[in-house]
Amino acid sequence: MNNPLQTCRSLHQTWGTLLTESEQEIDQLLNLLEELPDNNYQTLQERTANFAQTLSQLRSRMQHLQHDVVCAGTHCSSLEVTSSSCPDLHFLLPATGNPLIAAVTLEYGLIKERCQAFLGELMRLNII
């Protein structure tokens, strides 16, 4: 049977990894958007700016979640603690999941999909 503390810690480590990887992908998308050539199409410039702004705001929300929700301290990963409950206040949420993290990762997935489709269309049109 799994130790509830280890399950709790594992979940927080998974959340932290998910948020970190998403932030890194956002940085890559922002770099791609920044490297787009300047063009005279106002619609493309507006869409590029909108994607960049949305991605930046989402990254900021992820960073706040990483800080406010995910327990990442050394006391969270110690294998020597045998208590059946999590000793850190970060662990007050049930081990089944966190709706804030689920919502932000779902939102990121949708934005990422739209941004990649936009970049794909620019490639198809030979704009990039």
Query: pLDDT (tens digit, 9 = 90+) per residue, 62-118?
Result: 999 888 877 765 555 543 333 444 445 454 544 446 788 889 999 999 999 999 999
- As to burial, measured by CB atoms within 10 angstroms (0-12 exposed, 13-18 middle, 19+ buried), residue 21 is exposed
DSSP 42-79: HHHHHHHHHHHHHHHHHHHHHHHHHHHT---SHHHH-T
How high is the pLDDT of residue 104?
93
- Residue 117 DSSP SS3: helix
How high is the pLDDT of residue 15?
84
Comparing 40 with 80, the larger pLDDT belongs to: 40
pLDDT at 5 over 70: no
User: What is the pLDDT confidence band of residue 128, given thresholds at 50, 70 and 90?
Assistant: confident
> pLDDT tens digits for 52-62?
999 999 999 99
pTM assigned to the model: 0.75
Q: What whole-number percentage of the chain has pLDDT above 70? A: 72
